[in-house]
Amino acid sequence: MFDPSLTACYARIIQAGTELLTWYNAQPVVNREESALELWHIKRVNEILLNYLQHQKEGSEEYWSAVRTNYILKCDVFARIHYGESWYALANIIYGHEYAERLRDEYHLLSKEHPEAFRKYYTWKFNRKANKSKTFVIGDIHGAYLALLQCLERSGFNYEKDHLISLGDICDRGPDTKDCIDELLKIKNLTMVLGNHDFMALNWMESGTPDETWLKKGGGATINSYGTEVPQTHISLLRNALPYYIEKNKLFVHAGIELNKKLHLQDTKVFLTDRSLATAVTKYFYNGNAGQSTLTTFEEVYIGHTVSPFFKPLQAAGVWMMDTGAGMKEGVLSMINTETKEIFSSDLIGRLYP
């Protein structure tokens, strides 16, 4: 017999949060946000959901007790975890595959049956001052429209006031390139950095002839998403995309740069495809030197193109790797607030696009 009282519920919330915090602190992750798993946050999240569920008239008391003790307590802890790590993966590690499978099904059922509760959660967590704009960076989207919507919603992004910097590769692999660009065009303050997939897609849009290499890299999905016609606004967005963008001594570029060489002397191909910077960053990270030095003269550098280890944003030597595998079933799409370093990630791509 389980005790359905709120006291018992909160005790289990704290227990679940403590287990997760202990596990997470043991992982080789740099620059953790100190407040990410504070127990007061977990308690507040569940308080909102529990209070909402308690006032529902449908279902018996036994049903709502089961919801409180089985669905919300640990499920929401995992579902709302930061750093691009999916709650499903964490549940697998801590509680095993069978439990994670059951938890996943229950969570999706609950979120569909009670969207208002989850909407209230997001409103509370990501409430922002009305007159203060934020700058966000989003990694390689790769046609994952559903993931893009989740990142924008979970970050509380304001389409009129906030600034979004896309690191490129909106196109290819995923099925919804057209929808992704339609959504991005709704954003008033959008900065588009050109990715290599965008470059190849633009060649097709302007010539009407698909390159065989591009098709092998997922270009067919982009063609299918448009059907018979590509809007001129989409062509213009890619045509006017920047090779790189600098703001307040922060550099935003798709693939990377050549170190110790001035940007204006570097070839565009470097910005679109070179992985040497990402390789150096990853090496710094694995060697345990993530915060001890910087690789460039910029305060911060944000790159995409090379998928970050563990499918979550990785920071080392002053560089953020923001491609978290949205072009793969096992990856996610990630977005970061450049000021607070809060990270907002989608569900697993394989769950959004079975």
Residue 310 has what pLDDT?
86
Nearest to residue 298, comparing CAs of 336, 342, 247? Answer: 247
Nearest to residue 121, comparing CAs of 47, 223, 208? Answer: 47
Residue 309 has what pLDDT?
87
Distances (CA, A) of 287 to 30, 33, 204, 282, 292: 12, 21, 42, 9, 11
- 184-193 pLDDT, tens digit per residue, is 999 999 999 9
Residue 1 has what pLDDT?
34
Residue 264 has what pLDDT?
85
**Percentage with pLDDT > 70 across the chain:** 62
**pLDDT range class, residue 335, cuts 50, 70, 90:** very high
Opening angle at CA 266, ends 139 and 327, nearest 5: 20
**Measured between alpha carbons, how far is 283 from 291 in angstroms, rounded to an integer?**
12
Residues 201, 207, 210, 213, Cα dihedral to 10°: -70
Average pLDDT over residues 72-76: 44
Location of structure tokens 């040497």: 276
Question: Contact at 8 Å (CB) between 337 and 53?
Answer: no
**pLDDT range class, residue 344, cuts 50, 70, 90:** very high
Domains along the chain?
A: 6-125 (no CATH), 135-352 (3.60.21.10)
Which amino acid is it at 77? V
Kind plus residue range of the DSSP H or E element containing 137: strand 135-138
Query: What is the DSSP annotation of 163-208?
Result: EEEE-S--SSSSS-HHHHHHHHTT-SEEEEB--HHHHHHHHHHHHS
> Considering 163, 197, 234, 305, which one is annotated as catalytic?
197
**pLDDT range class, residue 285, cuts 50, 70, 90:** confident
Q: In the predicted model, is pLDDT for residue 158 greater than 80?
A: yes
- 249-259 pLDDT, tens digit per residue, is 999 999 999 99
Q: Which tokens sit at 302? A: 């944000």
197 is catalytic: yes
Pure H helices in 69-176 = 73-79, 87-95, 97-113, 115-125, 145-154
Q: In the predicted model, is pLDDT for residue 271 greater than 70?
A: yes
**Measured between alpha carbons, how far is 142 from 1 in angstroms, rounded to an integer?**
48
Average pLDDT over residues 264-286: 93
Which amino acid is it at 137? V
**Percentage with pLDDT > 90 across the chain:** 55
- 5-52 pLDDT, tens digit per residue, is 444 544 554 455 555 555 545 544 433 333 333 333 444 444 444 454
- 105-145 pLDDT, tens digit per residue, is 655 555 565 555 445 444 434 443 344 689 999 999 999 99
Average pLDDT over residues 276-282: 94
Mean pLDDT of the chain: 77
**Measured between alpha carbons, how far is 20 from 335 in angstroms, rounded to an integer?**
23
Compute φ and ψ for 252, nearest 5 degrees.
-125, 115
